[in-house]
Structure 1
């Protein structure tokens, strides 16, 4: 158990995650639409975010720009804007220079370090009511896939393994400053889906290894001290659907984590149907007082999910 001060014991935080799918087809288009204020999906999204009433909110499927302008525009559209923001730079759309999908061309979205029509497509952002400490966090998104212990890297063009990163969107540790001065670490990721594969099963292998990264981190000297919350889009269900569920099953069974929010988080329809692909896993020792799935916003695919914790 973590020893908490009286003030910290009284502090309940709502932590939420939502894969928004708000990404656009080109750079700057999300910002354009946010400024115009006329896109139905964005109007619906801001209403859904406001209804979540989260103290700490992580969104994925949100295009990155270096100045955080799109995030600032979204935040300003909320009835109660967040005082602390972080746009997490993804690996999506960064050219690799290699023909990774073997179709004879080298600068298409599937040849990028991670799928993307432009650098930054479909990134992740953090909106927080509490201060963020950039110096106490970490960005693990530069780790080469081959350098993950036990990595299941498929055959690649000569030289590609020297630059191909594991993270598709990213593996980030964002440190939140709690009222008593301690840090709560948000460990976030959005894995590539185990689909749209060729015979080498590159996406399926990568999806598994992106979840396996957290097992590696938890067993390494780089693991953050509790309390922390692991959350994001694993893009794999532990019991059904496509993909290799071994790593996500191991995370759900790990005694250092709490699996408090079960149930499907998306309905893809067709043969895939309803799956659990989004996760919030508080570290052991955090008191979880409530959890739930918010309704899927109209036109969206994924449920926002949330937990209330006393870290």
Structure 2
């Protein structure tokens, strides 16, 4: 069991040098429902999948965690239930865990646009929301932290307009005309959920947790509306950490510009992009991985992911990327891909990392069916 750094230091159990280690993780938990308040109902009824998700968290014990696909509700009832009835209760032999600090906010998924965005001749379907969803808040995000969050300094970018991004990849019909009606494009948000800059005060100083969940780059047609949006949602972070490219960015409170050059950060989330395989515009994730402010480190991996790829077969047999780097299992047609990321900035050292994908005979193998994604974690120090 990992001992929280500050607690262990105060108890005299480990040296100051070892104490200053922070584990940051991302996990697409698949804790969503097709109905508004459906997740709350699930969590009130001893949800088996939620117990397994909690067990993974208890087993790996991250200090700072982004959960993708955790339905948003304004009063935080779902988050309360998950923390109190699942994380605070031992699951499958794991020790309970507490996160005194958290952050959640509205997202664009499920919010009606009033336009026919998917071209099916109607304006009221899940594909006509500003982010695909059947109710507002579906597939939301939740940040949990053992360390204080600087709530007043959080920046959100839910309302940033796609058209305002320089060189925006606006979807087009094959004849070159705009896919979206001009009135829709004029008010179309870039983010399918949201982009958040959440500053966390840690033993290593303030870490800016840069959280997002871009749309999958599939489920569209030759206009590539989802592929283009995914690429530009990823490019947002590239511009945000590049001070020379960030003047166009204005957050939801009207503050202009990107992240300060001296700030340290970790980009986290299900970015729905694999640098070697899959259907997305791979240049977007490659350019982010190769950004000069991103730490060069070993790619998180697991033996279980490699074993699963060979066992699953299908598209995996033709993939170019290393199977051990996979973070999600999408079935034989798409195969397993690397789509979930923890990307620290320069100025940190990564002392350990991994993907929680146990072998069939290892602890947690029977928890994996709770989500088609796996937790990715990185241990950071100065």
For the aligned pair, the TM-score class normalised by the smaller chain equals over 0.9
Q: Which residue of 2 aligns with 1:298?
A: 368
CA distance in 2, matches of 1:233, 1:151: 21
Q: What aligned pairs does 1:1-311 form with structure 2 within 5 A after superposition?
A: 10-37=19-46, 39-76=47-84, 77-78=86-87, 79-154=96-171, 155=178, 156-179=180-203, 182-219=205-242, 220=246, 221-224=257-260, 225-260=262-297, 261-262=299-300, 263-295=325-357, 297-299=367-369, 300-311=371-382
Name which of structure 1's ranges 104-113 and 75-84 shifts more when overlaid on structure 2. 75-84
Distance 1:137 1:271, change over 3 A: same
- RMSD across aligned positions (CA): 1.7
TM-score by length of 1: 0.93
In the TM superposition, residue 237 of structure 1 has moved relative to its aligned partner by 0.6
In the TM superposition, residue 207 of structure 1 has moved relative to its aligned partner by 0.7
Name which of structure 1's ranges 54-63 and 290-299 shifts more when overlaid on structure 2. 290-299
* Contact 2:74-2:105 at 8 Å conserved across structures: no
* Contact 1:96-1:163 at 8 Å conserved across structures: no
Deviation track 1:223-258 (CA, whole Å, cap 9, x = no partner) reads: 144211011111011111101011110011112102
Distance 1:16 1:200, change over 3 A: same
Aligned residue for 2:31, secondary structure, equals coil
Aligned residue for 2:134, secondary structure, equals coil
CA distance in 2, matches of 1:9, 1:178: 14
Larger radius of gyration: 2
TM-score by length of 2: 0.76
Structure 2 unaligned regions, length at least 5? 1-14, 88-95, 172-177, 247-256, 301-324, 359-366
Structure 1 unaligned regions, length at least 5? 1-5
* Contact 1:194-1:204 at 8 Å conserved across structures: yes
Distance 1:137 1:8, change over 3 A: farther
Structure showing the higher helix proportion among its residues: 2
Deviation track 1:63-105 (CA, whole Å, cap 9, x = no partner) reads: 0001111011111121222111111321101111101112111
